[in-house]
Structure 1
Amino acid sequence: MSKTRIVIIQLKEIIYTAIFVGLGILLILLLVFMFAPDKDDSASLDAEKQYTAGVYTSMVTLNDTALNVEVVVDEDNINSLRIVNIDESITTMYPLLEPSLEKIAKQLYSGVDINDIELSEDSKYTQTLLLDAVKATLNKAVVEQE
């Protein structure tokens, strides 16, 4: 005949065991999340500087008058875009020049790529002229990949 054994497990022991198992699982999950490589970190390490920080200029000729388009960049984005030596006669003869540059600048400041700038129909040619000057200026600032 076999002897029947009766095992008595108290409720306290079951609760303690469940708490320790839960803490163990929580600790393992915490360690996995802490030491697993993060996708954002690897992307930021791969992304290098887009521009060399500085002030760059490019010349645009309008009616025998040279205008300098100035672009201020830091490593990742464009900070400022303006026409440096514009005088009153140019603003009078070309009234869409400054508003067109402001529209381009607003799009560049918001993070739109230089090739994806939308040109408005009312000043398309002026914006194209300025956009070409801005592209030429940004080509001077682009960091060359090795």
Structure 2
Amino acid sequence: MSAKTKIVVLHMKEVIYTVVFLVLALVLGGILFLMFGPGHDKETAAQADGKYQPGVYSTSISLNDNTFDVQVTVDSDRIKSIELVNLSESTTAMFPLMEPALESLASQIYVNQSLDDIQYSEENKYTSMMLLDAIQTALKKAEL
């Protein structure tokens, strides 16, 4: 027989190192699968479904020692209502443009679902700016 016999010599250290590296590679692959696998997409999709944490959020405003609240109600993805709460009759009499300014701002916010590009008249400029700041503060509390 003319078969050429080859003798392969393996050192035990090399075999052990190879097995250890294979096990580490499998463990790393499993960890990467768990971190970035299909379950991860569900969590990010649930967070991406809405912009807001549903609820009622309010911000206080003080004018001449009178305090009242701007209350914003939101769903997970839209602003439902904006209203003045705890507004006394004396504050209404002293600042008669407060409620009409809020109604004008609220109607624009309901349509746009954003505080961007809000228009207000020059006669209500400072009142509108104060109300927009209060609404923005309340919406920041509601953001995810």
The TM tier, using the shorter chain, reads 0.5 to 0.7
Counterpart code for 2:68 = L
Aligned residue in 2 for 1:107: 108
Give aligned-pair identity as a percent.
Answer: 44
Unpaired runs of 5+ residues, structure 2, are: 1-44
The letter for the 1-side match of 2:91 is: I
SS in 2 for 1:132: helix
Q: Report the Cα offset of residue 118 of structure 1.
A: 1.4
User: How far apart are the structure 2 equivalents of 1:117 and 1:111?
Assistant: 9
The aligned counterpart of 1:68 is 69
Greater than 3 Å deviation, 4+ residue runs: 44-47
Deviations 1:64-121 (Å, cap 9, x if unpaired)?
Answer: 1111110000011111100100011001000000000001100111125213211221
- 1:136 matched to 2:137? The reply is yes
CA RMSD of aligned residues (A): 1.8
Secondary structure of the equivalent of 1:49?
A: coil
**What letter matches 1:74 in structure 2?**
D
Name 1:98's counterpart in structure 2.
99
In the comparison of the two structures, how many residue pairs are matched?
100
Query: Structure 1: which 5+ residue stretches go unaligned?
Result: 1-43
Stretch moving more, 74-83 or 108-117 = 108-117
What TM-score does the superposition give when structure 1 sets the normalisation length?
Answer: 0.64
Question: Who is 2:128 aligned against?
Answer: 127
TM normalised by structure 2 equals 0.65
Amino acid at match of 1:80: S
User: Deviations 1:20-44 (Å, cap 9, x if unpaired)?
Assistant: xxxxxxxxxxxxxxxxxxxxxxxx9
Residues of 2 paired with 1:52 and 1:84: CA distance?
21
Corresponding residue for residue 25 of structure 1: none
